[in-house]
Every structure is written in structure tokens, then in C-alpha cells.
Amino acid sequence: MAAPEYVPTSVTNTSHYSSPPQRPGGWTATRPGETVGRDFSGTSALGSHGPDQGYALTLTSVFDDKLHLQEGEHRADVDAGCVAVAMKRASFFGRAPVVHDLRIAYRIFGYLEAEPAAELVALRKDLFAEVHYSFHYFERRAIADAVDLDVLALTPDAVASAHRADWRQLIS
């Protein structure tokens, strides 16, 4: 097949590309919208940033037959709140969410228990009420912020053991 005239015909002919001249002094973030090198740690509304965070929503289907919801609880709310926790954990490790992030989130709030403590059910009903709606962003942030990073750093087995011992130590 014939190639257009602008396509180089020789592999050794590199005249079609040349590097741009090097800029002396390098680049710095000076425009108002650039966040490189700025500290936003005091702003809770920014959430937890990480790669491919939305994949956590796909992973919720793994738990279709494993979750135990009580009367008045809705799966969409449970998923939205626990996905926020899972994304916080994934970003803490600097990676995309995996199934263990969700397993830990569901375990912390007792959704993997057939008979969770009544006090935990009452707490999570208040926390998770209608958080799947997009205008409840700050309520989802409150759920994610209720779980400290030292808890999220634990393994799934360690979280399960701590939950059996006393679930209150997992939620601040």
C-alpha cells in the first residue's frame, strides 16, 4: 500500500522530528488553577485522590449476595458510603481500588455480619441515609472521615478481628 508523501520512507531518516529547545530554569506552578506543590490538607471537601477511583463502583457487584441489610437500609446508600471509604483506603496506598478495600469498608460498618450489633445498625442508618444522591457529597465525606487512616492501613483479617472484638474502635 502506498504511503502519503509526509510519512518518512527511511527508518534511519529522523529529519521529521526534532526535540524542542530546552527551557532554562524548569517549570513551576504559578497560575491560580495549578495545585502542584500546594498543601490542601486542611480542606476536607477535596476527598481522597487516587487513580481509577470509579472502579470501586464496579467492584460492588462482588458483594451482591454477601451483604446483610436491615429494614430501612438501601443497597445504593450502602454502596455509596462504603465506596467512599474504599476510595480513601485505595488512595492512601496510592493505587486504584481493589476488592479488599470494599471488603474492609463493608466489614467496618457491619454489612458482612448476619446479625450486627443494634447500636451499630442505628449508627449506620443515620450515617448512610440517602447518601447515594449526588447532592449528599458531604455526607459521604463524613462516612469516609469517620474511619481513620490507621484503621484503613490494617489487613482485611485484622479489621475482621478488631470488628469482632469491638466495632467501636474502627469508627471515630
State which amino acid sits at residue 167. Answer: W
The total of other beta-carbon atoms located within 10 Å of residue 106's CB is 23
Which secondary structure element, helix H or strand E, spans residue 115, and what is its range?
A: none
pLDDT band at 5 (very low <50, low <70, confident <90, very high): confident
Higher pLDDT, 73 or 6: 73
Grid coordinates of 114: 448476619
Gap between the Cα atoms of 162 and 4, Å rounded: 67
pLDDT at 129: 95
pLDDT band at 38 (very low <50, low <70, confident <90, very high): low
Q: What is the pTM of this model?
A: 0.74
pLDDT band at 34 (very low <50, low <70, confident <90, very high): low
List b or e across 26-37, with b for residues whose CB sees 16 or more CB atoms inside 10 angstroms: eeeeeeeeeeee
User: Lowest-pLDDT range, 40-44, 71-75, 79-83, 127-131?
Assistant: 40-44
pLDDT at 90: 93
pLDDT band at 6 (very low <50, low <70, confident <90, very high): confident
pLDDT tens digits, 93-127? 989 999 999 999 999 999 999 999 999 999 999 99
